[in-house]
Amino acid sequence: MPSPLRLRAATVAAAAALTVTLSGVTAAATTNQAAAPRAGLTGRPITLASNIDLTGGDDAVMDASGTAYIGWIGNQDNAGRTVFLCVLPPRVTACKGGIQSTPSLDPSSAAGLQMLLTGKKVTLVWFHDTIKSGEGPENAKIATATVTNGVLSAAHDRGAAPSFGVLEDAAVGPGGTVWTVTAHTGTQSVQVTPGLGNKPVTVPTPYLVSTDEGAQLAFDRSTPIMAIQMGGSISQPISYAAEKNGKWPAFHPLAKTWTADANLGLATTTSGVRALASVDNANYWPVVSKWTGSSFSPPQLTGDKNPCSPSSHDPVADASGRMADISRGCSDVAVTNLTDTLHAAVTRFPSGGTLGGPKPQIATSPRGHAWVVWSIEASVSDNLLAAPMLLPGRDVTAKATSTQGNEAQLKGPASCLPPESIPVKVTGVPAAHWKVTSSTLTLNGKTITGKTLDGSTLTAGKSYTLTGRVSFADGGTKQLVTATLKFKSCPNP
């Protein structure tokens, strides 16, 4: 009779710290299966604007219904900077009702567009100078427009801003208030407005902050956290501070981070605030840090070690718990799904030209569907493009080892698995004098015969157990080793 098994890792949950692999566009479905969805673009790009000056910026958000909202401030045919909006309900291939627009309140300086989900509305926020900007230090304005039931409102000025400054970031604060961070070129400080219409607070900074989203804001419950980066620097670490009792303390550097030629990223996920930066060496690989309540944790590599390191970031979060990011990477656009906010699955697609204009933007749904926005150089200025896509799932590995040293290695998905095809495999590693005689894969007790798992066939939000069993033999002695992997399918909105 075989000896009893004492498995040292019989069950490994997908949320555990497992071996990370990067998933790009996965292989096609296997024999006896219909073609499963693949991570990456799921439709042809649509051109939102052609030969347009996009100096005013762009952004994208997605609401709980899965409707995407893409906004941009552009100067088309020298008509002055105007605010534009495209509304994309689920499963459409064109802007609902066409492209909407509203005057930006200043055709020459409107810039820094940010889009926020505020209750049942989408709020567009931007900066612009006024004819009085040359007469005093606080004569610029922060303006907003809202989208209600898919309709873009007229713009309104909501508060003062530093003359000839920039809008670095906007975020939703306590009670649905809109907070902004602005900066004035050449001033070693930023201004934080704790809710539009309130008096801005000047926050000293240890250096001149980059004017290209170099100061970003996020909230740990009701506590605002700011991360900054030095303008023009590669090897200077990012720095951070958290407001306490209405005051901003001195900034602290986050050791072992660089910004390289990429902007920093800050996002509030369901499990806390996360900061994205670059590793502190010439590889420029992305690293992520967790907010602990008083500081950021030591940065860790996300697992994305592509030689075309990110040259921008736009981290977003959704109700699935993930953090997603989009970036420029050489001539491609790279989309990263950090299913647990720390470990990356990456897919890339050609930009279709020379990347130009603002940084690429992304908006995601909990299920793993997204809209991505990027721009390429055109004959006069830039073309603004958008496309639907499916986020990649992340692979993890679970292992189980018997007392004799026979090992079962199970490869499968981490939580949460988008509705895409992902490789699954069980492999036996025999001890000396043993050999593998057979292996089986099951999902919730049902046998898997192929080499991939079609996530689109799984029930949204449901928990599953992937089980790999490997039979070993040493002469007449036999042994069965079982490894399991528990994961969840991504939920619906």
User: Residue 174: helix, strand or coil by DSSP?
Assistant: helix
Within a 10 A sphere around the Cβ of 392, how many other Cβ atoms?
27
Instruction: Please give the chain's pLDDT, 493 residues, in tens.
Output: 333 333 333 333 333 322 222 222 222 222 234 566 899 999 999 999 999 999 999 999 999 999 999 999 999 999 999 999 999 999 999 999 999 999 999 999 999 999 999 988 999 999 999 999 999 999 999 999 999 999 999 999 999 999 999 999 999 999 999 999 999 988 999 999 999 999 999 999 999 999 989 999 999 999 999 999 998 888 999 999 999 988 999 999 999 999 877 889 999 999 999 999 999 999 999 999 999 999 999 999 999 999 998 989 999 999 999 999 999 988 999 999 999 999 999 999 999 999 999 999 999 999 999 999 999 999 999 999 999 999 999 999 999 999 999 999 999 999 999 999 999 999 999 999 999 999 999 999 999 988 999 999 999 999 999 999 999 999 999 999 999 999 999 999 8
What DSSP line would sit under 368-422, residue for residue? SEEEEEEEEE-SSSEEEEEEEEEPPP-EEEEEEE-TT--EEEEEEEPSSBPSSEE
pLDDT score recorded for residue 64 = 92
Do residues 279 and 294 make contact, with C-beta atoms less than 8 angstroms apart?
Answer: no
- CATH 2.60.40 residue ranges of the chain are 11-37+395-488
Q: What is the CA radius of gyration of the chain?
A: 25
Structural fold of domain 40-390: Methylamine Dehydrogenase; Chain H (2.130.10)
pLDDT in tens, 121-177: 999 999 999 999 999 999 999 999 999 999 999 999 999 999 999 999 999 999 999
pLDDT score recorded for residue 35 = 63
- CATH 2.130.10.10 residue ranges of the chain are 40-390
Rounded distance between C-alpha atoms, residue 292 and residue 223, angstroms = 12
**Domain 11-37+395-488 belongs in CATH node 2.60.40:** yes
For 248-279, give one letter per residue: b (16+ CB within 10 A) or e.
beebeebeebbbbebbbbbbbbeebbbbbbbb
pLDDT score recorded for residue 321 = 96
pLDDT score recorded for residue 337 = 98
